[in-house]
Amino acid sequence: MTRPAVTRAAVADWRAVARTILPRFAWEYLEEGAEDGRTLRRNLDAFARIGFVPRTLVDVETIDTTTTLFGQSLALPAAVGPTGLNGLYRTRAEEQLAAAAGRAGLPFVLSTASTSHIEDVKAAACGPLWLQLYVQNDRTIAERWMAKARECGFSVLLLTVDTPVTGLRDHYLRNGFTLPLRWTPTLLLDILTHPRWCLSTGRHGMPQMVNLAECSGREPDITAQAATMAQQMNRSLTWSDLQWVRRHWEGPVLVKGIGCVEDAKLALQHGVDGIVLSNHGGRQLEDAPTAMELLPQVSEAVAGRMEVLVDGGIRRGSSIAKAVALGASAVLLGRAPLYGLAGGGAAGVDDVLAILRRELEVTLRLMGRPVLREARPGDVRAL
């Protein structure tokens, strides 16, 4: 007898599936934040503290969630954001994420710490491709990464600036997470008690940051790659270095990791095309502000003169509506697509993105706001 397909009602359902499939070390890498996790929780709470001001007797027969960003037409004001070491959750992870994003009419942002070759991601994609950039001390690594991305048709660059060092992630020490993995009895038991992960991912061995390895001229050795990421990040990067970025990237440039109004103004002064308000998913500086706390002030300060994106804590379609109402051009989706990836591969990502779109459409109808891009601060209220 064939079992009926299980309906996932919300992103939280895919999160629950992912948690059962992933070994503890992989689950905590995906899910945990810095220190005591306060910032991680506040990212979620920030959306819960925003309510709606619904209007009635409005024609909501047709709903329009589309937007245009950097000359690209998007089905939703969202992109599948950059996340690293996705090969911990599924093989060919970035290829599956990029393909699903394209099917949903969204861009996919490839991380410097990606585990699929950029050429393979390009071949799998059917939508816009953006690039996330970390800058190491040896800047030729970043220059090669940008050049390779241009050759593959990537159009938008996100320069991440909030990681001069890795945040204090206590769970790394508690569960012994290192690169490469240290094979202890506890780790072996953890892996062996998650057979679905072993069959789909673990049998392929530890994922490699293949693009970083190629651009740095290193052998595919995860230890060396991790050292390049963690120990050789360029800690002297300043606003003046945006000129160097511009020399190597002709398309739109966004600065990702803005955490105050003053830096948003500086970004505008330095001519960037957009910013991402972000605390790195609560994984870097504990007690940093959330994107939604900053968004109203930043939107007022930049007054539409550059694009403002947000990330962190987006688990519902209603959260996208709240962000747009408060001035966001779009949101970046981080953990939510990864829950689908870990739980169901490409089909899981498809379902997560479909859930978010369905929730967003229902929210707009109940708000009485049929055109999302017309949402305004008056459509929401503080709870």
Q: Which positions are annotated as active-site residues?
A: 280
Q: The tokens 């942002």 sit on which residue?
A: 109
Please report, as a single letter, which amino acid is at residue 355. Answer: I
Integer angstrom CA distances of residue 228 from 29, 137, 144, 165, 283? 19, 9, 15, 12, 19
- Taking alpha carbons only, the member of 352, 158, 108, 364 closest to residue 267 is 158
Cα–Cα distance for residue pair 164/122, rounded to 1 Å: 29
The residues near 17 (Cβ < 8 Å, ≥ 6 apart) are 8, 339, 342, 343, 344, 348
- Contacts of 181-184 with C-beta under 8 Å, sequence gap 24+, read 181/25, 181/206
Inter-residue contact 128 to 222 (CB < 8 Å): no
Sign of CA dihedral 355, 329, 322, 332: positive
C-alpha gyration radius of the chain: 20
Please say whether the beta carbons of 34 and 286 come within 8 A: yes
Task: Report the distance separating Cα 284 and Cα 86, nearest Å.
Answer: 18
Q: At what angle do helices 317-325 and 291-302 cross, to 10 degrees?
A: 30
Which of 90, 103, 147, 91 has its CA nearest to residue 351?
Answer: 103
Closest CA to 65 of 24, 105, 7: 105
